[in-house]
Amino acid sequence: MSDCLFCKIIAGEIPSSKVYEDDQYFAFNDINPQAPTHFLVVAKKHIDKVSSMNEGDRALIGGLFDVAARICREKSVTDYRLVINNGEGVGQTVFHIHLHVLAGRSMNWPPG
């Protein structure tokens, strides 16, 4: 999608601190980290939010978790929080599905 920030990051049109890339996925450090480790995992396919994905996207979106777990394993990070915001009302600001991976500090539950 031409006006999507994360599509531009995936395409390399906007620079990012890349953590991982393969043919379907891209991961990069969050520009405004909320924990010592805070990166985002996205599928290269543009889907704006979880509530608009369809059955055909299940495996692709499920794979975000696999990529996150693989990166964390490589970094020897064992405990981490995975977050996907769906909708402006809960804080989604970029409308290209992304999995937040946060680690390296203690965290409260429930989240704010």
1 lines the binding site for Zn ion (CB under 5 A): yes
Partner in contact with 91, chosen from Zn ion, ligand 5GP, none, beta carbon below 5 to 8 Å by kind = ligand 5GP
Options 19, 25, 27, 28; binder of ligand 5GP; rule CB under 6 A: 28
State yes or no: is 46 an active-site residue: no
Triad 60, 39, 22: Cα angle to 5°: 40
DSSP 72-100: HHHTT----EEE---SGGGT--SSS-EEE
Judge contact between 11 and 101, C-beta under 8 A.
Answer: no
31 lines the binding site for ligand 5GP (CB under 6 A): yes
43 lines the binding site for Zn ion (CB under 5 A): no
Helix-then-strand count for the chain, H and E: 2, 5
Nearest approach, Cβ of residue 33 and ligand 5GP (Å)? 8
In which element (H, E) is residue 40 found? strand 37-43
Options 30, 65, 81, 82; binder of ligand 5GP; rule CB under 6 A: 30
Residues making contact with ligand 5GP (CB under 6 A): 5, 14, 16, 28-32, 85, 91-94
Which residues belong to the active site?
98
